[in-house]
Structure 1
Amino acid sequence: MSKVKRFILVCLVLSVVANGYAQEHQPVDTIKANEFIARAATLLKSNETDKSIQSAREGLTVSKKNFYLAGEARSNQLLGEAYAKKKDYSESLKAYLSALKAFELLKQDNRMINTYTAIGILYQQQQAYTQAIKYFEQALKKSDDRNSKMNELLLEDIAHSYIQLENYQQAIQYKTRLLNIYLEQKNTDKVIETYKELSSLCEVTRQYRLAQRYNTELASIYGKRNDLGGLSSAHNNLGFISKRNDDLKTSSEYFTKVVELVNEQPKNLSESDKAILYTNVGVAYTNLKQYTRAKESYTIALKIREHQKNETEIANVDNYIASNYYVSGNTSRALKAVNEAIKLGEANHAEEVLVTSYKILSLIHDKDNNPAKAQVYLEKHKALKDKLSKEAKERKEKMLQRQLLIEKNEEEIRTLLADQEREALESERKENQLKLQENEIKLKAKELAILKRDQELKAIEYKNQQLEKERTEQALTLAQQQLEAEKRNRELDMLAKAKELQEQKLKQKMLEEEKQKKTIQLLESDKKLKDEQLKNSYWISGLFVLVIGIIAVSLIQKRKANRLLQQQQTEIKEKNEALLQNMEELRAAQDILSEQNDQLEIQHQKITHSIRYAERIQRSVLPADSMMNKLFPEHFILYLPKDIVSGDFYWAAQKDKRRILAIVDCTGHGVPGAFMSIVGSNTLNELVNEKHVTEPAQILNQLHEGIRHKLSQVESQNHDGMDIGICSLDQHEDGSFRLMFAAAKQTLFVMRKGELLELDGDRKSIGGANAGDVRDFSTKELVLEKGDILYFTTDGFIDQNSPDRVRFNKKRLKSLIEEIYQQPIEVQRSNFENTLASHQQGAEQRDDITVIGVKL
């Protein structure tokens, strides 16, 4: 096929493909959908919920119509928020689940985190705490280290949900995680609040040592802040914990400390803090059996609460006073105080207060030897306690029932969404099938058009060949005619010259005849005039000599003219023969050249096909994408061979829990480099996967020996080899990583906590005829944290020239890494590729290029 024909056919095919692509990938009209979505968000902020729902649904409809997935996701998210405000939890959940699925497809992690959190809050509002925890934990897992504030809120929500489920041990775990965050942030208020919560949870679960530790920490913080109310509470708690552990001496010491705080109180202490302080001091005095002082402290606390008109707190203080009187033996005063507490408790429905009051009253009557009344109030105490316990149990049962109903509702919603999705997919499948059939018909029509055009092109080409043949024949005919015309012209010239010679001969003959006549006349005259002949004999002799000379000269000239004419005829004949031979040789040369071009084209196609097949073989040797994603979930690879196949390759493996990654630059590029890459990859597989060598420096030492042996470099004086960087990663239990790195003429760049480090390898290569059998490579080690990034690169990247022959160089590479390392890993790959293209600007690629980034 001629170059003209191939060019026209390629243009036609590209035109067909472009038209098909344009029809199948129409640009999505997002403007209208985004307008509805923006309006819905504004209305929701203004609490115009119904209007917001309407606008969000319109945005959803437009987005679905235009296959605008991001618009569908955002519309559903707004619908979820709006329905949640209306407390229509079922519709809200349906919208949130639809939004969540779309965000998963779009890989928008932040929006997924927000949606998981919103669903968790939705369940929390319905007291379905188990489901709430499920979604909060999914949000926390997705959030990771992206947003510390979001992590705090999620941990708080999870801990709160576990407390509501009375799963205090899990609550303690999440509160402990929160405590570590607040300690790191030095957020003292949050630290105090969390210590208090942990102390209460540990007391409930009878973990008194932990409770003691947390109260000790609280006491230390309160002391530094001069918070006497908090300090007294912490010391009281420590006193009671010591008492429970039968450490009465330590208990007494803590209660004494509480008493001493009264004299240290500042003048500006608030009334509520004073009430707490004096109540705690009263408790301390009671435990120290200083009942009078205890009464004085309770009395001060009581007056403060009466001044605040807080009847529930007044009843609480009355209970403390009654207890103090009871243990001191003054039952009449105790009776009066507890009756005051019961009166206020019943008036304010303070059942928690009344449970304590009835118990105290039962003990008082029992001490006064009035068992009947003691029994009455003991039964009241038990009844109220049972009532509170029953209510708590009923709440728990209702919570469980609600949980089951909600879980069932979620399953129904998920089933409904799945059915809707299946219906939509089936509808889309049918629509796509129709489109496919239409496209097949169009494609067949285009194929027929291409075939028809191909036939036309063949006809045109045949016609061109015929025209070319005719033009050649015409040129040959014209040349022949020109030769014949020139020959005729020469013959005419020769005839003219021959005629001229004949005329000259006739003239000469006539002259000779005339001369002969004159001679005869002279002879006759001679007879008559002998005397005159004698006198003129000298003149006659001279004249005769002159005539003979003229005749001789004429004959010589005639012979010269004949020889010249014959010579010219011979030259013309030779030139005609040479011209015909040249034209034959020219036609033969054109035929040979055309045949050689066809052979060269066929050979080029065969070579290109072979190299393409070699490329597939080489890529099959590289680690599979699934393997790389499993070993290094966050990574990118920029792999740009110079000549289809590459002398660069990368390699990865896992042995036990150790992950190993290598990047290799073999001698040369193209086919020779590709052969070396196969040898290198196979040798690495043998060393790591079969011989179980996993330490980087040892791998390089044995790789050097293996390459020299396989290439018989000592005998063959083969100098091929490779530059390689290889590292191993071991993850510790605390989440940190141990990195070991060894290299032959390569550098590893490490971005650790915002600082760019360079780990340089040894300045010696792998392999080579004069390298010796043994190498001793060194290993470098680093401890890395989650989020640190490793960058491997062969020298093709930094050695690439611009059109002005300026190298990219290592300094620019380091600047590029420092500029983009905080971006998502896949975006970093695009930045590497775009920066290289911007530097290259069409300049020829000098070498194979490979860059790998791995985020830990």
Structure 2
Amino acid sequence: MNRRIFRLYYFAFYALLATTIHFNAEAQEKEAADSVKSNQLLQEAQSLLKQGSFDLAISTARNAYELSKKTSYLTGEANSSHVLGKAYTEKKEYNEALKYYFVAIQAFDLLNNPQMNINTLADIGSMYQTQDAHGQAISYFEKALKKAYEIKSEPRLRIVLLENIAYSYKQLEDYPHAMTTETKLLSEYERTGNKAKVIDTYKELSLLSELNKQYRSALKYNTELAEEYKKNNDLVGLSSAYNNIGFIYKRTGDLKASLEYFNKVTELVNKQPAKLTEGDKALLHINIGVAYTTLKSYTRAKENYHIALKIREKEENSIEIANTQNYLAGNYYVSGNVSQALKSVSDAIEIAEPINAEEVLLTSYKILHMIYTQDNNTTKAKKYLELHRELNEKLKEQEKAKKQEMLKKQLEIERNEEEIKTLLAEEERAAVESERKENEIKLKEKELALLKRDQELREIEYKNQLLEKERTEQALALAQQQLETEKKNRELVSLEKEKELQNLELKRKALEDEKQKKAIQLLEADKKLQDEQLKYTYWMFGLFALILTIIIISFIQKRKANKKLKAQQLQITNQNNELQHNMEELQATQEELESQKGQLEIQHRKITFSIQYAQRIQSSILPSNSLINSLFPENFITYLPKDIVSGDFYWMEETEGKKIVSIVDCTGHGVPGALMSMIGSTTLNEIINQKGITDPAEVLNKLHEGVRTKLSQEESQNHDGMDLGICVIEPNGGQKVKLTYAGAKHTLYIINDGELLEVNGDRKSIGGANTAAQRDFSRQTLELCQGAILYLTTDGYIDQNCPNRKRFNKKRFKSLIEEVHHLDLQSQKEYFDKALADHKKDAEQRDDITLIAIKI
């Protein structure tokens, strides 16, 4: 019986398994067909994108995206998202483009496809460049560049990324970072043997060096340029390089070297090749004219300018004609030929004004102002000075407006990006939740299928029981039939025996006398046969009784088994109900936790975004790079907030011919420290810029009063304050500089004529509830040589721990200054940053860190 039931189970299981395999095969075939269809749609979308049919490309790529997402075809989802990002970028729908680019980045990460990830990051950078959001563009190009270095990509990819980074830094006028990037580009071009690009990069580096007032570097790059131009027999380029070198030497006071290079330019006039283009000829003669003007050979300068002018007039290049007229006017002016200077500059203005060539006009107005000033014509001199000033202010305002617009756009783009990231995170969470619910439904469907299958098996088992019962009944009927047949056989045997006995009786009577003995034997045999027949009958009845007993016992055991099975089923049902209840409670709890987690994530993003926005606001109170470089051309600043925002800040200004620099360490760090830094910066502006107080000790006195008043520390018992040092620098005749210093718990370090000086401030802080309402800070005055270096630092640098909890300490800081002070300041910065990093290693940053070095 058990073997029969097992076979039925076996066949039922394999029937269900075959059905499942059939359905799975169909599903796999459908998924394969869908992925092929998705790839076809994607290829079509890419072709439409190349043709400029952006709307059709978007529609087709979105169909590919939806089909890939439906079938969980991640490669199709990633590639179609990337195409959608590019198509929306072409349509200038940047928010939609960014959304799909982010989806593509996540998908390529999951696919471990760094190359496409780099391409997508670069596309985002290009999109931001298009919008003049160069800060964001740099961020994404640098992410792409980092991955390109990690996978050791082709040099061409790294070069393209570096070119974009350098371009954006130049648009932001962040010339130090632009120089760093151009230097990396130079290495790549030299490695790949791209001579033309090497020359272009030397040009950029020389220009950036001059903008940064790093004349030694500018000289180096122009010298390298000159060598390259010599190799290529490029006289135009060589003349420009020699002129640049001459002006650099002139600017640095080396007049002998300056004249040497201007003379080299004039020597090129007779070396120009016959195949030189007209435009290159004009440039060459302009460069030679500039050299002759500098060498005070005004007639030769005029001759070269006239040659250039004739070429420009032949080309009908209005702007260059006007520029050349300005060169002539300048040459006439410095040679004392005022009337000819006036005519040339008037011709330049006549050409430039109708076409609104503002840069040309700016130069022309300046020349006219100088001409009329020399001629003592104050009215016209004032007129053209005013025109020059107005135009200069207009150009500055335009540049300022452009920068403000860029900053505004940058902030708006950052906000939009954060919102898109938040939206995508919420959509992803919703998708995960939807997938979880779908999985639960599928699980319930599977459970129902299992229950249905179990029910089918039970029905099969019930049918088997009925068949077994029928078979038992048939066996009983067969046994009954066998017993009746045996009984009939016995009756027939008995009749035959009786007939035989009758025959024997007849024979016995006939042969009674002769067969008496045999009759007796036959009677004995008959008796024995009857005994055997009776024994056989008993056996048949016993066998029937045994079969009947087995059937009854089996029936009783089956009933017991069924009762036990029903009891177990009832127990399992109760356990399932209890488990279902527990699962529902657990699910509700999990849903609540997921909801709370999502809310916390969104809140965390909002708080982080707010703090990042506050960081940008705080950055706006710091001096701009252009102000710092104009006040102190040689400088470096290390500014490392412990958190996103900082309790440290630095302040610089020039007023009444005095240059003022201060470094401030406010109580705390993070948001509280940042709020204190805003109060400190605002108060310094009020004291110095509005009230005109420039004495450093008096500034500290007023700052103490201002902090206590603004924080109502007398009533609130607020103990916040700040430590700072403030330096006032002014000329002191000859090569000497006067430095007046005051400090509140701050030490100033100075390298003067190779000697390290340590100037300590007062042992008291600014602000605090338990301090006097007024304080009298002291000042110290020193006479320094030009070229002295001032080092101002907050205590975050000196107090930074290493992993063994040892401070960097003041002694080591002073030793570091003495070790590196002879280097240029950018090299010093690298040494200071490396020393801090080597000391800190993986220890947590304790405090905000700020270090400033300026060369007087």
TM-score by length of 2: 0.50
Runs ≥4 in structure 1, deviation > 3 angstroms? Answer: 2-26, 440-457
> Aligned to 2:83, which of 78, 83, 86?
78
> Aligned to 1:87, which of 92, 101, 105?
92
Alignment-mate amino acid for residue 199 of structure 1: S
Alignment of 1:423 onto 2:430: yes
Alignment-mate amino acid for residue 107 of structure 1: N
Alignment of 1:207 onto 2:237: no
> Aligned to 1:194, which of 183, 193, 201?
201
Cα distance in 1 for residues equivalent to 2:118 and 2:18: 40
Cα distance in 2 for residues equivalent to 1:239 and 1:258: 9
Query: What aligned pairs does 1:579-594 form with structure 2 within 5 A after superposition?
Result: none
Alignment of 1:121 onto 2:121: no
Query: What aligned pairs does 1:313-712 form with structure 2 within 5 A after superposition?
Result: 313-443=320-450
Alignment of 1:142 onto 2:147: yes
Alignment-mate amino acid for residue 400 of structure 2: K
Task: Classify 1:61/1:224 alpha carbon distance in 2 versus 1 (closer, same or farther; 3 Å).
Answer: same
Cα distance in 2 for residues equivalent to 1:8 and 1:206: 94
Cα distance in 1 for residues equivalent to 2:199 and 2:127: 29
Cα distance in 2 for residues equivalent to 1:366 and 1:310: 31
Deviation (angstroms), 1:268 = 1.0
Deviation (angstroms), 1:405 = 1.3
Task: Classify 1:331/1:8 alpha carbon distance in 2 versus 1 (closer, same or farther; 3 Å).
Answer: farther
Task: Classify 1:259/1:420 alpha carbon distance in 2 versus 1 (closer, same or farther; 3 Å).
Answer: same
Task: Classify 1:299/1:139 alpha carbon distance in 2 versus 1 (closer, same or farther; 3 Å).
Answer: same
Cα distance in 2 for residues equivalent to 1:16 and 1:336: 104
Deviation (angstroms), 1:439 = 2.4
Match of 2:551 in 1: none
Contact 2:236 2:283 in 1 (8 A): yes
Cα distance in 1 for residues equivalent to 2:107 and 2:457: 42
Cα distance in 2 for residues equivalent to 1:83 and 1:409: 16
Alignment-mate amino acid for residue 74 of structure 2: L
Query: What aligned pairs does 1:233-272 form with structure 2 within 5 A after superposition?
Result: 233-272=240-279
> Aligned to 2:66, which of 61, 70, 93?
61
Cα distance in 2 for residues equivalent to 1:387 and 1:11: 93
SS of the equivalent of 1:347 reads coil
Percent sequence identity is 51
Deviation (angstroms), 1:440 = 3.4
Match of 1:619 in 2: none
Cα distance in 1 for residues equivalent to 2:4 and 2:311: 105
Deviation (angstroms), 1:19 = 8.1
Match of 2:49 in 1: 44
Query: What aligned pairs does 1:759-778 form with structure 2 within 5 A after superposition?
Result: none
Contact 2:358 2:391 in 1 (8 A): yes
SS of the equivalent of 2:353 reads helix
Cα distance in 2 for residues equivalent to 1:307 and 1:394: 38
> Aligned to 1:132, which of 127, 130, 137?
137
Match of 2:282 in 1: 275
Residues 312-361 of structure 1: CA distance to partner in whole angstroms, max 9, x if unpaired? 11111111111111111111111111111111111221111111111111
Deviation (angstroms), 1:196 = 0.6
Match of 2:101 in 1: 96
Task: Classify 1:281/1:448 alpha carbon distance in 2 versus 1 (closer, same or farther; 3 Å).
Answer: same
Alignment-mate amino acid for residue 155 of structure 1: L
Alignment-mate amino acid for residue 123 of structure 1: Y
Alignment-mate amino acid for residue 135 of structure 2: T
SS of the equivalent of 1:349 reads coil
Alignment of 1:155 onto 2:162: yes
Residues 148-206 of structure 1: CA distance to partner in whole angstroms, max 9, x if unpaired? 11111110001101111111111111111000111111211101111111111111110
> Aligned to 1:106, which of 111, 123, 127?
111
Deviation (angstroms), 1:147 = 2.3
Match of 2:228 in 1: 221
Deviation (angstroms), 1:6 = 13
Aligned residues: 460
Cα distance in 2 for residues equivalent to 1:455 and 1:143: 69
Cα distance in 2 for residues equivalent to 1:249 and 1:216: 17
Cα distance in 2 for residues equivalent to 1:369 and 1:11: 119
Residues 761-808 of structure 1: CA distance to partner in whole angstroms, max 9, x if unpaired? xxxxxxxxxxxxxxxxxxxxxxxxxxxxxxxxxxxxxxxxxxxxxxxx
Alignment of 1:287 onto 2:279: no
Cα distance in 2 for residues equivalent to 1:260 and 1:266: 14
Cα distance in 2 for residues equivalent to 1:393 and 1:12: 83
Which structure would you say has the larger Rg? Answer: 1
SS of the equivalent of 1:269 reads coil
> Aligned to 1:185, which of 187, 192, 199?
192
Deviation (angstroms), 1:21 = 8.9
Deviation (angstroms), 1:441 = 4.0
> Aligned to 1:171, which of 159, 164, 178?
178
Contact 2:8 2:460 in 1 (8 A): no
Deviation (angstroms), 1:4 = 15
Task: Classify 1:312/1:18 alpha carbon distance in 2 versus 1 (closer, same or farther; 3 Å).
Answer: farther
Cα distance in 2 for residues equivalent to 1:8 and 1:100: 54
Deviation (angstroms), 1:20 = 7.4
Match of 2:613 in 1: none
Task: Classify 1:315/1:440 alpha carbon distance in 2 versus 1 (closer, same or farther; 3 Å).
Answer: same
Alignment RMSD (CA, Å): 3.1
Match of 1:666 in 2: none
Task: Classify 1:330/1:452 alpha carbon distance in 2 versus 1 (closer, same or farther; 3 Å).
Answer: same
Deviation (angstroms), 1:298 = 0.8
Cα distance in 1 for residues equivalent to 2:15 and 2:182: 65
Alignment-mate amino acid for residue 365 of structure 2: Y
Cα distance in 1 for residues equivalent to 2:8 and 2:245: 93
Cα distance in 1 for residues equivalent to 2:50 and 2:348: 48
SS of the equivalent of 1:369 reads coil
Task: Classify 1:247/1:441 alpha carbon distance in 2 versus 1 (closer, same or farther; 3 Å).
Answer: same
Task: Classify 1:287/1:9 alpha carbon distance in 2 versus 1 (closer, same or farther; 3 Å).
Answer: farther
Task: Classify 1:450/1:246 alpha carbon distance in 2 versus 1 (closer, same or farther; 3 Å).
Answer: farther
Cα distance in 2 for residues equivalent to 1:97 and 1:350: 44
Deviation (angstroms), 1:241 = 0.4
SS of the equivalent of 1:30 reads helix
> Aligned to 2:312, which of 305, 324, 332?
305
Cα distance in 1 for residues equivalent to 2:289 and 2:340: 16
Contact 2:38 2:64 in 1 (8 A): yes
Contact 2:365 2:385 in 1 (8 A): yes
Alignment-mate amino acid for residue 113 of structure 1: I
Task: Classify 1:384/1:23 alpha carbon distance in 2 versus 1 (closer, same or farther; 3 Å).
Answer: same
Residues 721-770 of structure 1: CA distance to partner in whole angstroms, max 9, x if unpaired? xxxxxxxxxxxx9xxxxxxxxxxxxxxxxxxxxxxxxxxxxxxxxxxxxx
Task: Classify 1:225/1:18 alpha carbon distance in 2 versus 1 (closer, same or farther; 3 Å).
Answer: farther
Deviation (angstroms), 1:76 = 1.5
Contact 2:118 2:144 in 1 (8 A): yes
Deviation (angstroms), 1:424 = 1.8
Alignment-mate amino acid for residue 310 of structure 1: N
Match of 1:32 in 2: 37
Cα distance in 1 for residues equivalent to 2:159 and 2:305: 39
SS of the equivalent of 2:386 reads helix
Cα distance in 2 for residues equivalent to 1:7 and 1:127: 77
